[in-house]
Structure 1
Amino acid sequence: MRRAKITIVGAGNVGATCAHWCAAAELGDIVLLDIPQAGDMPKGKALDLMQSSPIFGFDSTVIGTSDYAETAGSDVVVITAGLPRKPGMSRDDLLATNAKIMTAVCEEVKTTSPEAVIIVVSNPLDAMVQRALQVTGFPPQRVIGQAGVLDTARYRTFLAMELGVSVEDICALLMGGHGDTMVPLPSCTTVGGIPVTQLIEPARLEEIVDRTRKGGAEIVGLLKTGSAYYAPAGATAQMVEAIVRDKKRLLPCAAYCDKEYGVGGYYVGVPVVLGTGGVERIVELKLTDSESAAFQNSVAAVKELVSAMAKLV
């Protein structure tokens, strides 16, 4: 059997670190791609990563390129390409710029890797994954947004820190859009099987949830000159693993919901089963009244974002 072929578009911190995690786990052979203006940078990062293979004992090959021809026939394409928001740049500016980048990338991907599963990491996430679907015309099951795995990981980290327990014992779930309207589900959060509501007072739990919502901004504030990349890349690698190894993981991802949850044709964070085919099914939960109201509020924010993008592109 051949190894899976994984293309990562964007060789910045998130893309290169995702390549690192994927190679170390031997998830497949990796192509790290960036724009021609980046010069030999992706080749340098790929070679550096390959030279760590004897140390960590992986046999995955890693190549760097700016030529989409070298990505042909990829099983999974991870898209991290896009600009971060900069001082003086409006939300609409970011939407317009990254939508153009997403369009250009997806025009290439649909030609070179027509059977691939696409994982979108670029922000604003909920709009960018919608754009990827529009441009590629792929079945929506093969176009997925990475956000829920990252947000849930942050939530689990903060809960473990609060309780002084292993992160392995924290089982949690977040839904909705990627940002301030994300929806934690206390009804689906347990610590070693114990409902979190029995261990943390509601007011303190809400503080932890709020920190989760602002998790990316907190790191930006600490770094000063960049944004998070270890956890976003790790979350993406976990999704890649679920797909290439057909693990049937139940993970929160930005998936295309039509009839599910009454969303009506938009991408939003929901629990899904991930396997070789991408999103193999969406799991519909019975939400409490407060959770359902918060989820619908988050869906409304996603719709507003997508509408704004449509006017700009």
Structure 2
Amino acid sequence: MRRAKITVIGAGNVGATCAHWCAAAELGDIVLLDIPQTEDMPAGKALDLMQSSPIMGFDSKIVGTTSYDDAADSDVIVVTAGIPRKPGMSRDDLLSTNARIITSVGEEIKKSSPNAVVIVVSNPLDAMVQQMWKVTGFDRAKVCGQAGVLDTARYRTFLAMELGVSVEDISALLMGGHGDTMVPIPSCTSVGGIPVTQLIDPARLEEIVERTRKGGAEIVSLLKTGSAYYAPAAACAQMVEAVVKDKKRCIPVAALCESEYGVGGYYVGVPVIMGSGGVEKVIELKLTDAETADFQKSVDAVKSLVASMDELLAG
């Protein structure tokens, strides 16, 4: 039986760290791919990672490359390609540049790995995964976005810090777009089975939610240069594991909702069952009126983001 083939497109901090997590967990053989202008950088990172295998005890084969030929027939592809927002760069600049990068990457994926499950990480996430699905023409189950796993992990971390309990005992769910409009679902958040609303008062809980919304920006402000990569990469690896091991994980991801939640053809963060087929089922929850209203605001923000992207690409 052959190992799964996992390609990570973008060999920067998130991509390389994702390759690291996947290799350490022996999820499959890994291709670390970047643009030709990076020259031998992906090969250098891949070789360095391979040389850690005797120490860490994994047998995954890791290849660094700038050619999509090496990524052919991948089972799972993680896309981290894109540029971060830089000082003086507008939101539209970031949106336009990364949408064009995703378009180029999607066209290559369509040619080289038509049966792959594609996990998009590039920002602005909700628009980028929408564009990837549009460009590849893949079934909606085969294209999804990583954000919910990361956002929920940050939320669980902050809740554990607040309560002084193990992160393992916290179960939580955040829905909606990736960013300021993400929607906490208190009815789906518990600590050892105890509803979080019985342990933290509403005002304090909202402060923790707000910190979660700004979780990425908080790390950027602390690092001064660069952005988060350990947790985003770990979140990617968990999704890869769900696919290659057919885990049937119930996790929040950016999935294409058609009739679900009345969204009508947009990618947005929702709980799903994830296995070898990708997003095998979108789980529809009964939300409260307040949760429904907040979720709709988040969906509207995603629609506006996608509309702006389409306008920029058309221009």
Same fold by TM (over 0.5)?
yes
Partner of residue 101, structure 2: 101
Deviations 1:196-225 (A, max 9, x none): 000000000000000000000000000000
Deviations 1:10-67 (A, max 9, x none): 0000000000000000000000000010010000000000000001110000010000
Q: 1:134 & 1:71 partners in 2: Cα distance?
A: 21
Q: 1:57 & 1:89 partners in 2: Cα distance?
A: 43
Deviations 1:74-101 (A, max 9, x none): 0001000000011111111111000000
Partner of residue 279, structure 2: 279
Partner of residue 288, structure 2: 288
Partner of residue 181, structure 1: 181
SS at 1:178's partner residue?
coil
Q: 1:260 & 1:122 partners in 2: Cα distance?
A: 24
Partner of residue 301, structure 1: 301
Alignment map for 1:1-313 (pairs within 5 Å): 1-313=1-313
Give the structure-2-normalised TM-score: 0.99
Q: 2:237 & 2:7 partners in 1: Cα distance?
A: 12
Letter in 2 for 1:255: A
Deviations 1:226-281 (A, max 9, x none): 00000000000000000000000000000000000000000000000000000000
Letter in 1 for 2:35: I
Deviation at 1:291, TM superposition (A): 0.6
Deviation at 1:3, TM superposition (A): 0.2
Q: 2:238 & 2:82 partners in 1: Cα distance?
A: 21
Q: 2:60 & 2:83 partners in 1: Cα distance?
A: 29
Q: 2:297 & 2:107 partners in 1: Cα distance?
A: 32
SS at 2:31's partner residue?
strand
Q: 1:45 & 1:166 partners in 2: Cα distance?
A: 34
Deviation at 1:294, TM superposition (A): 0.3
Letter in 2 for 1:47: L
Deviations 1:91-149 (A, max 9, x none): 11111000000011111110000000000000000000000001000001100000000
Letter in 2 for 1:103: T
Q: 1:200 & 1:99 partners in 2: Cα distance?
A: 40
Give the structure-1-normalised TM-score: 1.00
How many positions carry a matched residue from both structures?
313
SS at 2:93's partner residue?
helix
Q: 1:71 & 1:310 partners in 2: Cα distance?
A: 28
Q: 1:92 & 1:166 partners in 2: Cα distance?
A: 40
Stretches of structure 1 that go unaligned for 5 or more consecutive residues are: none
Stretches of structure 2 that go unaligned for 5 or more consecutive residues are: none
Letter in 2 for 1:23: A
Letter in 1 for 2:142: R
Output the aligned Cα RMSD: 0.3
Q: 2:154 & 2:9 partners in 1: Cα distance?
A: 24
Q: 2:279 & 2:35 partners in 1: Cα distance?
A: 29
SS at 1:286's partner residue?
coil
